Structure 1
């Protein structure tokens, strides 16, 4: 991997660390003082700071492996206190405890297995984190300074470790705040059955996984038992903790965050069901404290929401203070839109709901060719039209520009430079006579054939501005061998017409008057996704590649259609901070 990409990854994977603590060490006569109310003394190997004391531990797991752990305790502790736990592969010393300690919490940061100062082997990514998370909770609840109320926090990989420790956790786990994580690592890494190359491979390389482990993750591209330890979507009923799920519409785990919320809120155990909340903002991975999301900096981001919301969770569930928690609705989401025109245009504000998904209508727009070999129309009437054909050459894949990326530039970007390619097929509405609001998942049903036994279809939903820019809203992919599900692959018969459905991830967006809704179709979006060689061979094992001739049909027999989730804009309930 080239050095520039590696440097970008290294900067990306640590963005959720709270900043390395550079504290003043105070040598004091209280260094080893005995605390009668706890029947405990600060140990000799502790480090005193102005307001807290850091105590290093090697917490034993059930298999004898020790995990390096920092316990940061308020210096004036005189009674057991609630604990906020961070489990991270990015170095426990990067967690700054000062803010939480000043609010009366003990802060615990731990290197996950095989990382930094912890013992053990990394193994398959996150495979030990459920067991290790539970063992850590059980150790913490037994300590004299613990009041047996524990909450977890952290984002990205730290969000994943939280999800994995959720099912069957000890009762001391009272609340969780997974920020931009996923409850299903397989689904996150193989979207639509295709490898999210830009996410998985550079991340594993940057975090020190062996080539054999990377190869194992890549080549296990079918949902088998290998992935069982790193997905909890079949175990939500075993979760019994309150939660706040925090994500962004252009984050790498955008849909995963929503899936996690819905699993806890509607399928969780007695103490989880009905006690989850969801916040989705106009953010990419790591910028929920403000700034541009690609080529747009959305207004009214209310960046303080990240800190306040996380405080709300632990105040409510660790300190029994619901004041801040009760101010947040069950679902809080930002409705995006264009920002270059007059202030009377709709969108770019926060809305609230008691549930997700919100009630919607479905607007169906049918695809039709119009004589241009690379463009067609979207309209509410199905008409007979000629098939549309494009070639997909794995040796010259369509580039990634924007989207829900980790390493590459993420967010909304103008797609017109890609849309002029001959291997991109466009369908769009006429100029909108009134705004169209989209909230939720969009389904696209194609009738499709190929000369190959396997290939990919990529789709992008864009907002075409009056000046011609085509700004990316969301995108997805389908590896055709997994058109019937991800548990087993089924190759196509060349020339056979198949009905397939691709589901775009959830979004919230207002297409304003005089704009157009555009659907862009191609065979690749690289390196966001692995470029399918079209040979039907197992992933990473092809020795050659084929050029796919892909045909899309839209007529009375084969009505290809995009189904938009379109609530009435006036039905959206605004939220005021």
Structure 2
């Protein structure tokens, strides 16, 4: 009864296996002697079958076993759900992201030696479970039969440090989760703990924010804060270098407010350019949003069926399917970004204007960013807190935020593709970040964030040209609405504050206010570049 209910909620077709056989706590040895535990789900019978491998740091029972074990096994797949090193009974120490290549390859070799495996392997999963796929796929010989990549990327460093700035909210939220996940009742919502974690985002120095949040150190937070100024230390976890040679068919699902969106779209473009069979679905979701589970699981089940069970029906759809926000419709394309989208540059103008026309002579706009009272976060691609779209008017009223607004639109404007900003800026300290956000302003003045980006400026005292990459989007600005661009010195606690003195992110305590000058004149044409569709 429960199985049928789960299948119905997920919108899956009727199961072909009424009751899979489950073998708990398989012991899979690693070359260094560590023993990792896994659960195996299979259809009844003794013949060798391909294996769908799912490697997770979040446990192999509960939601992981349900979504990727039992559900897939009822569709006729043999599934092995493994707890990665140092988690939920598996031996060794959990060092997030840094151990998955060696352990994943050793697991794949062990599986292929088992009499119940026919030698064919595929992988599935989302988020960190997608990272464990990328840690194996470019290096495995023979290659995987298929990859199912939900809300993930071939490297995570650009999500740790977007634009060179520590993504504090997401990093501390995840650290607090993995630091407590094996405690009793950790899965039960705990408002007190949530409040404590959010308060810890203001703790200084940041290297000890984990203790402030959950009362004990979390090695990942130490790692990610300590290396904020040296992201190259994560090179071993970057698997993007093998994209052009990857032959494994891949299917990707992500959301417009997912923290890995930009990386996943770059992965898709690279695979498509290399001729690899790949498809992409982008919906109106944030990371881990329950509304995304149904399309994601259905996508992965159909991709596995196509490449392991020779059910090719679902391969007939176009390779790109995206949701156009505020139009409430899905669109299909042959590539990302769509070939029909054309660039359009809107200039920042005097008196807070935003227009196609190049600016005339104008004095720079000025504001001061104070790390002691940092510009706050409102919405965006967040793991916790107020994610997605929210009213930005309170933030836009602050003296440390510049606002540039266009005229009411005479017709609907669809922006589908990549978005970037060019901001010419000079700072008083030579140590600063630039945050740029695109908003949709309705007739009542409500300003909703659409996409944004941040960049750490190079150290110096001259005029810097900040090329800020905003997240890609697909969004309809309605007739009568106005486009608005915000420019500020940060968005806290989503991004760690810049202390204005060059101190390392992990250890900075003292703070120096920074005066910004934003130029928008004929020699310094600041503005935003949009991909306009149609």
Question: What is the TM-score of this pair, normalised by structure 1?
Answer: 0.80
Residue matched to 1:369: 350
Question: For the Cα contact (< 8 Å) 1:193–1:479, is it kept in 2?
Answer: yes
Distance 1:564 1:51 in 2: 50
Question: For the Cα contact (< 8 Å) 1:84–1:150, is it kept in 2?
Answer: yes
Residue matched to 1:314: 304
Question: For the Cα contact (< 8 Å) 2:432–2:489, is it kept in 1?
Answer: yes
Q: SS at the partner of 2:104?
A: helix
* Corresponding position: 1:255 with 2:262: yes
Map 1:153-172 to 2 at 5 A: 153-171=124-142
Distance 1:53 1:92 in 2: 12
Residue matched to 2:338: 358
Distance 2:34 2:125 in 1: 23
Could you tell me which of 427, 439, 450 is aligned with 2:427?
450
Range 92-101 or range 455-464, more displaced: 92-101
Q: SS at the partner of 1:534?
A: coil
* Corresponding position: 1:58 with 2:58: no
Question: For the Cα contact (< 8 Å) 1:179–1:245, is it kept in 2?
Answer: yes
Distance 2:434 2:228 in 1: 17
Map 1:116-515 to 2 at 5 A: 116-123=88-95, 125-171=96-142, 173-208=144-179, 210-211=217-218, 213-223=220-230, 225-267=232-274, 273-287=275-289, 289=291, 304-326=294-316, 328-337=317-326, 347-359=327-339, 360-370=341-351, 375-481=352-458, 491-493=459-461, 496-515=462-481
Structure 1 residues 65-102: Cα deviation after superposition (integer angstroms, max 9, x where no partner): 1111111222x213112222111000111212222222
Question: 1:223: Cα distance to partner?
Answer: 4.9
The 1:548/1:435 distance shift into structure 2, 3 A limit, reads same
Question: For the Cα contact (< 8 Å) 1:246–1:278, is it kept in 2?
Answer: yes
Distance 2:220 2:397 in 1: 39
Distance 2:46 2:224 in 1: 48
Question: 1:149: Cα distance to partner?
Answer: 2.0
Structure 1 residues 518-553: Cα deviation after superposition (integer angstroms, max 9, x where no partner): 001111211110011111122222241111100001
Distance 1:368 1:50 in 2: 65
Residue matched to 1:297: none
Question: For the Cα contact (< 8 Å) 2:247–2:276, is it kept in 1?
Answer: no
Question: 1:566: Cα distance to partner?
Answer: 0.8
* Corresponding position: 1:115 with 2:73: no
Question: 1:252: Cα distance to partner?
Answer: 1.8
Distance 1:321 1:211 in 2: 44
Distance 2:472 2:515 in 1: 30
Structure 1 residues 125-184: Cα deviation after superposition (integer angstroms, max 9, x where no partner): 211101111111111112111122222111111112112222111325211111001211
Question: For the Cα contact (< 8 Å) 1:243–1:277, is it kept in 2?
Answer: yes
Structure 1 residues 460-485: Cα deviation after superposition (integer angstroms, max 9, x where no partner): 1110011111011011111113xxxx
Structure 1 residues 245-282: Cα deviation after superposition (integer angstroms, max 9, x where no partner): 11000112111221222233324xxxxx3311111011
The 1:136/1:534 distance shift into structure 2, 3 A limit, reads same
Distance 1:179 1:81 in 2: 24
Distance 1:523 1:428 in 2: 19
Question: What is the TM-score of this pair, normalised by structure 2?
Answer: 0.86
Q: SS at the partner of 1:289?
A: helix
Question: 1:414: Cα distance to partner?
Answer: 1.0
Q: SS at the partner of 1:365?
A: strand
Distance 1:257 1:224 in 2: 19
Q: SS at the partner of 1:138?
A: helix
Query: How many residue pairs are counted as aligned between the two chains?
Result: 478
* Corresponding position: 1:533 with 2:523: no
Distance 1:132 1:325 in 2: 32
Question: 1:225: Cα distance to partner?
Answer: 4.6
Structure 1 residues 282-336: Cα deviation after superposition (integer angstroms, max 9, x where no partner): 111122526xxxxxxxxxxxx853333212210111112211222x211111111
Question: For the Cα contact (< 8 Å) 1:58–1:66, is it kept in 2?
Answer: yes
Distance 1:377 1:329 in 2: 36
Question: For the Cα contact (< 8 Å) 1:378–1:427, is it kept in 2?
Answer: no
What stretches of structure 2 of length at least 5 have no aligned partner? Answer: 1-5, 8-17, 180-209, 211-216
Residue matched to 1:102: 74
Distance 1:239 1:394 in 2: 44
